[in-house]
Amino acid sequence: MKRLAVYCGSASPEDPRYLKLARQVGISLASRGIGVVYGGGRLGLMGAVASGALEAGGEVIGVIPDALANSEVANQDCTELYTVSGMHERKQMFTDLSDGFITIPGGVGTMDELWEAISWAQLGYHSNPVGLLNAFGFFDELIAFNRKMADVGFVRPAHQNILIAADKMSDLLEKMAAYQPHTPIFRMKAEDL
């Protein structure tokens, strides 16, 4: 994995653990020679991931919609900063530029990015690992919900291991490196669906 897209919040929660975590994620990736592709902002967890990676000598590629770039939240310190027309183009660039995805705590936008990465993997738009860093138990309920969707039958057996979760970054990266691509829906026969 040469580059990973990091999905996270642009907010700064009161609890300082979240910003510290984001910064550590950036440092951790850079120290392993893994470039960061992220939302291009300088605020919140996004900014902390980028600054951690940059300070550790890593590559940081930002992809930001022009509406946000024009509101002065763009991180001009990125190795590269792409301004795109909207969210669809942004998420496509995340996929095109990355060898996988890591989601750390965030809000609605972060969840949108995570579920789209999973959905695109199921369909076959990419075959990259989709990781979830469950720091502080933040995603416990989401992991349980994902399991419930599988148990009920809304996630096919072939796709139940797309979401890779771990509590520690080192464990998550190890699991992501070992990920074996699944059979996407586009290559399944009707009787498998």
* Integer angstrom CA distances of residue 130 from 63, 71, 73, 83, 173: 19, 30, 27, 24, 10
Secondary structure E strands in 19-100 = 35-38, 60-65, 80-84
pLDDT at 190 (0 to 100):
72
pLDDT at 188 (0 to 100):
73
Q: Is the pLDDT confidence value at 193 over 80?
A: no
Average pLDDT over residues 180-188: 83
Q: Based on the number of CB atoms within 10 Å of its own CB, is 149 exposed (0-12), middle (13-18) or buried (19 or more)?
A: exposed
- 144-162 pLDDT, tens digit per residue, is 999 999 999 999 999 999 9
**Are the CB atoms for 92 and 5 separated by under 8 Å?**
no
Q: Rounded to an integer, what distance in angstroms lies between the CA atom of residue 110 and that of residue 105? A: 8
| 18: CATH | 3.40.50.450
Higher pLDDT, 190 or 103: 103
Domain range spanning residue 26? 3-192
Strand order across the 101-103 sheet: 80-84, 60-65, 35-38, 3-7, 101-103, 130-133, 163-166
152 φ, ψ (degrees, to nearest 5) = -75, -25
Domain total in the chain: 1
pLDDT at 185 (0 to 100):
81
* Full-model pTM: 0.94
